[in-house]
């Protein structure tokens, strides 16, 4: 079995969407004749933890290094969970550094990676990003020892609508690093077609054949023997992260406008570890009888809640929809529940959901149209016509199943690896 050295800043027991893609790759790579060896950071102050994700991957070697980063600093001084850190503080941490705020992890990760390469017969190096510092560390190690490098993008680096630099010099510095990494890399994996097209426009000198697309997905084993968490009310469930740029404010305004029509036997549930600004929005006293907030649950518990929901909700602002499909979309599809999505019509995520006849759509920032959509959804649920309107049980989502997607990754690494 060949060995691949993986750089992943976020890794279980950290939970949430930031780790699920790489966690599933690590889980299924051994079935495709690859032994993953993971380099990550020691425990950090992060909102979500899920030991089940770590137990699920089995006996994988994981090296946890130190790192001089804000989240590691907060963990050391005992400053609590990520949700206690304000939105403005997180943006400052993200924007003030060259590369990103995890740049202080790079020397520790490079030192550990170099040590492993001296003692192990590594055939390829893989980095999952963001944070983008993971790509820098993987690049420095791969170039030093002459190994092929594969970069897996969860989020764009340049071209990311949430990424800002305080000065043009910092942005230029970051651009040069990404360009150098892409020039050296043997393969570059994006998770949407539009992200692939965007990065090729940003870096026209990079050979087009390097770019591959492996979407996010769902894991069939996560649903085995899983019973829906039944709810007696018509329930709208949002599972996942929210932020100032992905805000529920327009949705909540629509709920407030329709409250008299909705409150009879209707509930809106938000499951996640939200920062203070988002919690203030969600815990408005005027909505407390219809809007409920739950802290992050273990992954299978979240899936059970999703399976038991009447509707699932997605919030995708225009800047995000241009080249991103939220990772949770694929598990939403696998739950086979109708999806309420607030996003620009014609975006890649909306087209995907329409292809599978799975969604009702309204613009992200139009409370009036959102209110009309919610009213229509409740009427459908009360009429008993949901299954007729959304014939989801017949849909086949095997093309997005995690073991199938990992087989594709294994093939890419086989093609570029040493001695292949």
- CATH at 358: 3.40.50.2000
Angle, alpha carbons 232-388-258 (nearest 5°): 50
Q: Give the pairing of strands 187-190 and 211-213.
A: parallel
**From edge to edge, which strands make up the β-sheet containing 61-65?**
61-65, 34-41, 2-7, 122-129, 149-153, 187-190, 211-213
Lowest mean pLDDT among 4-8, 23-27, 151-155, 291-295: 291-295
What tokens were used for 211?
């770019």
Residues 227 and 308 in one domain: yes
Q: Into how many domains does the chain fold? A: 2
CB-based contact 103:134 (threshold 8 Å): no
pLDDT for 175-226, tens place per residue? 999 999 999 999 999 999 999 999 999 999 999 999 999 999 999 999 999 9
CB atoms within 10 A of CB 330: 23
Q: How confident is the model at residue 17 (pLDDT cuts 50, 70, 90)?
A: confident
Residues 407 and 274 in one domain: no
Residue 409 confidence (pLDDT): 98
Residues 161 and 234 in one domain: no
Query: Among residues 350, 317, 307, 313, which one has the least CA distance to residue 328?
Result: 313
Q: How confident is the model at residue 83 (pLDDT cuts 50, 70, 90)?
A: very low
Burial class for 253, CB neighbours closer than 10 Å (0-12, 13-18, 19+)? middle
Query: Among residues 166, 203, 160, which one has the least CA distance to residue 185?
Result: 203
Q: How many angstroms separate the CA atoms of 367 and 351, rounded?
A: 22
Q: How confident is the model at residue 139 (pLDDT cuts 50, 70, 90)?
A: very high
Q: What share of the chain is helix, strand, coil (3-state, %, to 5)?
A: 50, 15, 35
Residues 208 and 249 in one domain: no
Dihedral of CA atoms 104, 108, 111, 117 in degrees, nearest 10, equals -110
Give the Å distances, CA to CA, from 266 to 231, 233, 237. Answer: 10, 5, 11
Residues 202 and 53 in one domain: yes
Q: How confident is the model at residue 95 (pLDDT cuts 50, 70, 90)?
A: low
What tokens were used for 72?
């590691």
Q: How many angstroms separate the CA atoms of 56 and 403, rounded?
A: 14
**CA 390 to chain centroid:** 26
Residues 389 and 405 in one domain: no
Angle, alpha carbons 80-83-85 (nearest 5°): 75
Residues 79 and 107 in one domain: yes
pLDDT for 19-48, tens place per residue? 999 999 999 999 999 999 999 998 775 556
CB-based contact 325:349 (threshold 8 Å): yes
Which of the two residues, 385 and 78, has the higher pLDDT score? 385
End-to-end CA distance of the chain: 13
Mean pLDDT of 65-84: 61
Question: How many helices (DSSP H) and strands (DSSP E) are in the chain?
Answer: 18, 13
Residue 49 confidence (pLDDT): 76
Query: Among residues 294, 318, 171, which one has the least CA distance to residue 240?
Result: 294
Residues 329 and 360 in one domain: yes
Residues 410 and 352 in one domain: no
Q: How many angstroms separate the CA atoms of 327 and 306, rounded?
A: 15
Residues 388 and 337 in one domain: yes
Query: Among residues 20, 68, 38, 61, which one has the least CA distance to residue 191?
Result: 20
User: Domain of 78?
Assistant: 2-217+401-416
What tokens were used for 287?
């909505």
pLDDT for 324-359, tens place per residue? 899 999 999 999 999 999 998 888 999 999 999 999
33 φψ region: left (φ > 0), alpha (ψ -120 to 50), beta (else): left
CB atoms within 10 A of CB 59: 6
Residues 194 and 267 in one domain: no
Residues 113 and 243 in one domain: no
Residue 82 confidence (pLDDT): 47
Average pLDDT, the chain: 89
Asked if the bond preceding 155 is cis, omega within 30° of 0, the reply is: no
Q: Is 112's pLDDT higher than 50?
A: yes
């Amino acid at each position: 079995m060949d060995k691949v050295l993986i750089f992943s800043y976020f890794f279980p027991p950290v939970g949430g969407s930031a780790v699920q893609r790489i966690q599933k790759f690590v889980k299924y790579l051994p079935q495709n004749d690859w032994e993953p060896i993971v380099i990550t950071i020691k425990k950090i102050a992060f909102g979500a933890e899920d030991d089940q994700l770590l137990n699920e991957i089995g006996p994988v070697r994981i090296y946890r290094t130190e790192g001089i980063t804000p989240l590691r600093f907060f963990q050391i001084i005992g400053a609590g969970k990520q949700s206690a850190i304000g939105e403005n503080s997180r943006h400052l941490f993200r924007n003030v550094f060259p590369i990103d705020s995890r740049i202080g992890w790079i020397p520790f990760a490079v030192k550990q990676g170099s040590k492993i390469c001296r003692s192990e017969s590594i055939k390829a190096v893989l980095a999952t990003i963001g944070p983008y510092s993971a790509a820098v560390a993987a690049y420095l190690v791969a170039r030093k020892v002459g190994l092929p490098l594969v970069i897996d993008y969860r989020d764009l680096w340049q071209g990311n609508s949430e990424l800002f630099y305080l000065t043009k010099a910092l942005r230029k510095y970051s651009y040069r690093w990404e360009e150098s990494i892409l020039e050296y890399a043997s393969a570059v994996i994006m998770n949407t077609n539009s992200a692939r097209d965007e990065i090729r426009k940003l870096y026209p000198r990079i050979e087009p054949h390097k770019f591959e697309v492996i979407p996010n997905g769902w894991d069939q084993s996560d649903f085995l023997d899983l019973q829906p968490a039944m709810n007696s009310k018509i329930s709208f469930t949002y599972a996942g992260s929210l932020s100032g740029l992905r805000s529920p404010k327009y949705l909540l305004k629509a709920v407030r406008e329709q409250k008299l029509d909705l409150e009879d036997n209707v509930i809106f549930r938000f499951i996640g570890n939200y920062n203070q600004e988002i919690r203030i929005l969600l815990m408005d006293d005027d909505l407390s009888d219809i809007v409920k907030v739950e802290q992050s649950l273990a992954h299978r518990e979240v899936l059970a809640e999703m399976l038991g929901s009447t509707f699932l909700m997605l919030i995708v602002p225009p800047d995000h929809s241009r080249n991103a499909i939220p990772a949770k979309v694929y598990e939403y599809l696998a739950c086979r529940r109708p999806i309420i999505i607030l996003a620009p019509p014609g975006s890649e995520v909306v087209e995907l959901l329409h292809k599978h006849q799975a969604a009702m759509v309204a613009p992200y920032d139009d409370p009036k149209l959102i209110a009309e959509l919610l009213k229509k959804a409740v009427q459908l649920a009360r009429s008993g016509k949901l299954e007729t309107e959304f014939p989801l049980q017949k849909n086949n989502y095997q093309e997005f199943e995690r073991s199938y997607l990992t087989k594709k990754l294994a093939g890419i690494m086989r093609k570029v690896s040493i001695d292949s």
